[in-house]
Amino acid sequence: MKHIFTLFTALILLTSCTTQVAISPDYWNQKSKVGIIVNVDAPEKYKAGPQGLLDMAVTSGGKYDEALKLVAEKIQPKEQLIQNYKQILENKGKETVVIDYNVDEKTEKKFEGEKQKDKKYARYDFRSLKSKYNVDEILFVDFKYGFMISYYGMIETGKAGFATAYLLIINLNDNSIIHADNTTNQTIIKKWKEDNYAESLLRIEEAVKDVSVKGPAAIN
């Protein structure tokens, strides 16, 4: 099994480019119901640093598969993420509902509606969720975690526990983006394999906890 993912791919799941949109203070003065959708992928091996095609092929083996399986068993952040985002929204006066919905880029319909020049839009069309779940907006979190391995060509130069949360709040009237942000943490791993991957688990857990707190706090 191969566990390789580029960070850039993680950031373009929902927008046509890596977008950041600051939230307007007026948003909190408007009554609305927000549907919360949190996608948490299985832990992966992510890669950073310059690599050619041959380098990528050579470094695509299963060296980290055993560790990633253990990470998946020990670190499961989804429920805590949901509660953290839910609390932030409700503390600000928003009504919330948690929606069990998997956003899959392979099957989602792309947004092809009318666009205004002064707005950013979600890559996929979420407007049907408005009537289906009786919500005004969607808060979507795409959360990824695992190892971040740095390379120079085919040579590993470093390892880190890694977590990232890409956040979108989407207006379901027109699919426009109310808020978009990304929170990332990398925590250096020195002895990744010793004591049944004890340090790897600890550093990945630290990265996950940091992003799980700072991601929701960033919209407050």
pLDDT for the residue 62 = 77
Tell me the mean pLDDT per 10 residues along the chain, length 220: 43 54 93 97 80 50 87 96 97 96 85 89 94 97 93 77 96 96 94 88 97 91
Which candidate, 197, 212, 202, places its Cα nearest to that of 163? 212
pLDDT of residue 187: 94
- Which of 98, 101, 125, 114 shows the shortest CA–CA distance to 14? 125
> What's phi and psi for 23, nearest 5 deg?
-80, 135
Residue 61: the pLDDT is 60
H or E element at residue 216: helix 194-217
Please give the CATH architecture assigned to the domain spanning 4-217.
Answer: 3-Layer(aba) Sandwich (3.40)
d(CA 204, CA 35): 28
Going by the DSSP 8-state scheme, the letter that residue 115 receives in this structure is -
Can you tell me the distance from the alpha carbon of 156 to that of 48, in angstroms, rounded to the nearest whole number?
10
CB atoms within 10 A of CB 151: 18
pLDDT score of 52: 52
Q: How far is CA 160 from CA 58, 140, 205, in A?
A: 20, 26, 11
Per-domain boundaries in the chain: 4-217
Please name which of 47, 69, 67 lies closest in space to residue 58, comparing C-alpha atoms. 47
